[in-house]
């Protein structure tokens, strides 16, 4: 027994000191192996807190998306001194999505030129101005009020485009692979939380939309103050040659003192790998962004994500968010439609929170297929709810709408934002992310702006049929095209695209997913 114990201790010391891993390691050894430095509680807390702070500003995007749902009735009330016509309100509801592509393209430039931190500062400042314009909109002149509201919505739209990539990219670059998924997902959680908050505000404040503007302005000001101390991403600092600052931030995010010298061998090894990969990319005379689009590691993920964003919008996800109250009323929901909107917001929020766990357990492709299949069923039920054999099912419209929201959040709504931070290589990540988001938000504008006309032309039932058919097509797209990035590093994903290898899970990996 003594010999066995000594042998275990020697093996443990060899591992701890960087020696060669023995062929057979006892269970006792595994228990003694320390966690990697970046996965210890101090490092994980720092990574998590910074990502949460960065995502506070993203909540404004959700608030902006849900705002038309709670303001349509008071803003179009002809008994008020100033009000919007129905045509003007459709622009209020959709202009933010038309402006978002500009923000998406601007995001790519700012991420590369200014860095992740200052891009996050910029989106918070624009959101603050937008909410302030909403709060102080004219109470005397219709035309002036309309112009102010359009500028407000344009700015929140630019903010929407700006916000879709930087916090996710920042999360991916500061985190360890163990928690990368849940941190990247923070952006989707923040959007869902923002939608829920604005629905709750609308439930309690049904007529004074300017008061809602003041509440959001105050929140945005506090958010701007909170993001000021955020450290920059070490990846970006290395790419700009600011090595002392990069060492400081990497030390910080790995739980060490914020010093310009790295003394811990594990952090030093990570820093050297990052520096080598970035310098290697620079040494290869990386082509311009537009020439980079010819590279398989760029154009393949770009086409895949554009397809995902197209399906995300054409399934009617944003239409349900923007017109939640109106769709609930027209679908025959028997409860307070504002309460139904709150339930929709809560359903999305509660479903988004465990998504990091589900994506790690199921994998990206399985989550996307389950999501699209469920959305198909939900939209079909909503389309045929008036059939005699379904009329007696209590609360069927509520069940169908909330189920659609829950199931879309499980994959089709969340995955494009989640994977945008995983698929693109470092040297084009900013601009490629911006271009992808620009396409997604342009598709969102098209769907949101045309929904009222499509509803009037063919009726809600056939709108729901179309959304159901597109959801089914999305399921096929995910099965055939979407790569599996579960448990792969960013470098491995890039290499597999470059070498034209399949990123679909192997049979062994699928068995692991099923067992777990």
CA 296 distance to own-chain centroid: 24
pLDDT-derived band at 285 (thresholds 50, 70, 90) equals low
Outline which parts of the chain fall under CATH 1.20.1250.20: 37-230, 295-495
pLDDT-derived band at 501 (thresholds 50, 70, 90) equals low
What integer pLDDT is reported at residue 197 of this predicted model? 95
CA 155/CA 130 separation, integer angstroms: 6
Between 21-30, 66-75, 385-394, 453-462, the lowest mean confidence (pLDDT) is in 21-30
Answer whether residue 138 shows pLDDT above 90.
Answer: yes
CA 172/CA 65 separation, integer angstroms: 25
What integer pLDDT is reported at residue 12 of this predicted model? 37
Query: Are 399 and 498 contacting, i.e. CB atoms less than 8 angstroms apart?
Result: no
pLDDT-derived band at 498 (thresholds 50, 70, 90) equals confident
What integer pLDDT is reported at residue 303 of this predicted model? 92
What integer pLDDT is reported at residue 385 of this predicted model? 83
What integer pLDDT is reported at residue 91 of this predicted model? 92
Q: Average pLDDT over the chain, rounded to whole?
A: 83
What integer pLDDT is reported at residue 23 of this predicted model? 44
* pLDDT tens per residue, range 357-404: 787 788 888 999 999 999 999 999 988 887 887 777 777 888 888 899
- Compute and round to an integer the Cα radius of gyration of the chain: 25
Helix axes 186-204, 41-56, angle to 10 degrees: 50
pLDDT-derived band at 15 (thresholds 50, 70, 90) equals very low
Compute φ and ψ for 288, nearest 5 degrees: -60, 165
What integer pLDDT is reported at residue 502 of this predicted model? 52
What integer pLDDT is reported at residue 281 of this predicted model? 62
Answer whether residue 223 shows pLDDT above 90.
Answer: yes
What integer pLDDT is reported at residue 382 of this predicted model? 87
How confident is the model over 162-181, as a mean pLDDT? Answer: 83
The CA-atom distances, in angstroms, between 387 and each of 225, 383, 424, 459, 461 are 54, 9, 47, 15, 11
CA 214/CA 223 separation, integer angstroms: 14
What integer pLDDT is reported at residue 500 of this predicted model? 62
The CATH architecture one would assign to domain 295-495 is: Up-down Bundle (1.20)
The model's pTM? 0.74
What integer pLDDT is reported at residue 282 of this predicted model? 60
Residues 37-230: name the CATH superfamily.
MFS general substrate transporter like domains (1.20.1250.20)
Between 60-64, 410-414, 416-420, the lowest mean confidence (pLDDT) is in 416-420
How confident is the model over 462-468, as a mean pLDDT? Answer: 93
CA 113/CA 106 separation, integer angstroms: 10
Structure tokens at 470: 């597109």
**Residue 112 or residue 510, greater confidence:** 112
């Amino acid at each position: 027994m003594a010999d066995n114990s000594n042998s275990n201790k020697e093996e443990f010391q060899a591992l701890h000191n960087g020696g060669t891993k023995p062929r057979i390691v006892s269970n006792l050894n595994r228990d003694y192996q320390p966690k990697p430095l970046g996965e210890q509680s101090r490092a994980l807390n720092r990574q998590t807190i910074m990502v949460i702070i960065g995502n506070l500003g993203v909540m404004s995007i959700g608030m902006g998306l849900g705002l038309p749902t709670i303001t349509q009735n008071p803003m179009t009330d002809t008994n008020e001194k100033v009000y919007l016509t129905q045509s003007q309100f459709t622009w209020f509801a959709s202009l933010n999505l038309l402006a978002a592509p500009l923000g998406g393209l601007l995001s790519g430039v700012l991420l590369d030129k200014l860095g992740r931190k200052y891009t996050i500062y910029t989106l918070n400042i624009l959101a603050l101005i937008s909410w302030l314009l909403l709060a102080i909109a004219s109470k005397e002149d219709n035309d002036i009020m309309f112009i102010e509201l359009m500028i407000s919505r344009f700015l929140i739209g630019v903010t929407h485009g700006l916000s879709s990539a930087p916090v996710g990219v920042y999360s991916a670059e500061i985190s360890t692979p163990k928690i990368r998924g849940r941190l990247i997902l923070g952006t989707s959680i923040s959007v869902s939380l923002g939608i829920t908050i604005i629905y709750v505000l609308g439930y309690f404040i049904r007529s004074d939309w300017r008061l809602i503007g003041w509440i959001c302005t105050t929140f945005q000001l506090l958010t701007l103050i909170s993001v000021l101390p955020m450290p920059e991403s070490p990846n970006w600092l290395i790419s700009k040659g600011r090595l002392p600052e990069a060492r400081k931030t990497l030390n910080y995010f790995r739980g060490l003192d914020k010093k310009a010298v790295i003394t811990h061998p594990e952090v030093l090894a990570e820093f050297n790998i990052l520096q080598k990969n970035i310098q290697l990319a620079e040494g290869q005379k990386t082509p311009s962004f537009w020439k980079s689009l010819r590279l398989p590691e760029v154009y393949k993920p770009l086409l895949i994500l554009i397809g995902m964003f197209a399906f995300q919008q054409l399934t009617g996800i944003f239409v349900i968010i923007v017109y939640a109250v109106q769709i609930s009323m027209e679908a025959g929901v028997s409860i307070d439609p504002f309460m139904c909107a709150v339930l929709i917001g809560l359903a999305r929020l509660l479903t988004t929170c465990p998504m990091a766990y589900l994506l790690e357990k199921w994998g990206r492709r399985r989550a996307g297929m389950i999501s699209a299949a469920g959305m198909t069923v939900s939209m079909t039920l909503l389309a045929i709810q008036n059939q005699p054999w379904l009329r007696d099912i209590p609360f069927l419209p509520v069940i169908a709408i909330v189920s659609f929201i829950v199931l879309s959040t499980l994959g089709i709504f969340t995955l494009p934002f989640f994977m945008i931070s995983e698929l693109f290589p470092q040297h084009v990540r900013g601009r490629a992310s911006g271009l992808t988001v620009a396409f997604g938000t342009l598709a969102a504008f098209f769907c949101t702006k045309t929904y009222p006309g499509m509803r009037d032309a063919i009726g809600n039932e056939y709108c729901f049929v179309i959304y159901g058919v597109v959801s089914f097509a999305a399921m096929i797209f995910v099965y055939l095209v979407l790569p599996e990035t579960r448990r792969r590093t960013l470098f491995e994903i890039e290499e597999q695209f470059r070498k034209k290898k399949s990123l679909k899970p192997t049979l062994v990996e699928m068995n692991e997913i099923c067992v777990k």
